[in-house]
Structure 1
Amino acid sequence: MTDQPAHPATIPGYIDDKDSHLTRLRRIEGQVRGLQRMVENDTSCIDILTQVSAATKALEAVALGLLDDHLRHCLVHAVKDPVDLEEKLNEASSAIARLVRS
């Protein structure tokens, strides 16, 4: 069992999905190691690019899941404090902008 802080606002929004996120990230880590092997083995550019695209989409899925967790958890708790809410909204907006720009 995970030690969780007592205050809900200090608990990461992804805490309920932590194992799922870790599983996905480990899978992505394996994909990246596979990409390294492909380059070492002089695999064709198109095959490598196909795998890069798959890894990129997998990372985007993790990012969107974390963002969803943040919105559902952190913003819900921030509603009680208008200053905190504004800060959390700005954080979420910045995170979305970084995802869109990438």
Structure 2
Amino acid sequence: MTNHSERADEAPESVVTLRTPAELADALPYLLGFTPEDSIVLIALHGPRGRFGGRVRIGIPERADDWQSVAKELAQCLVSGCQQREARPDGVVAFLCQEPGGSAGTPPGGR
């Protein structure tokens, strides 16, 4: 909530500490503003405490031959977006979001 005497764009940042990979996975829909399904999501990390930066998402490729080009393009998009806004990320967290069986019927690990 914003104090009425301050501008909305000057509201303080919220600080949330996530300590485990499970907590990070549970927080993903809140970080993105939606629940990713059948998606690859990358989140940029900045600084020694791993502050979240840019986020990118794309659908999981159907063909195994597309994985390398999709991963490269997604990473380049994240890094260039971060560099335009602030700085190159110090790290990246990658999520592979798919329910068991997935929409294509093949578990993502098999693809």
User: Is TM more than 0.5 here?
Assistant: no
User: If the length of structure 2 is used for normalisation, what is the TM-score?
Assistant: 0.27
Structure with a larger share of its residues in helix: 1
Structure with a larger share of its residues in strand: 2
Report 1 or 2 for greater relative contact order, CA contacts < 8 Å, sequence distance ≥ 6.
Answer: 1
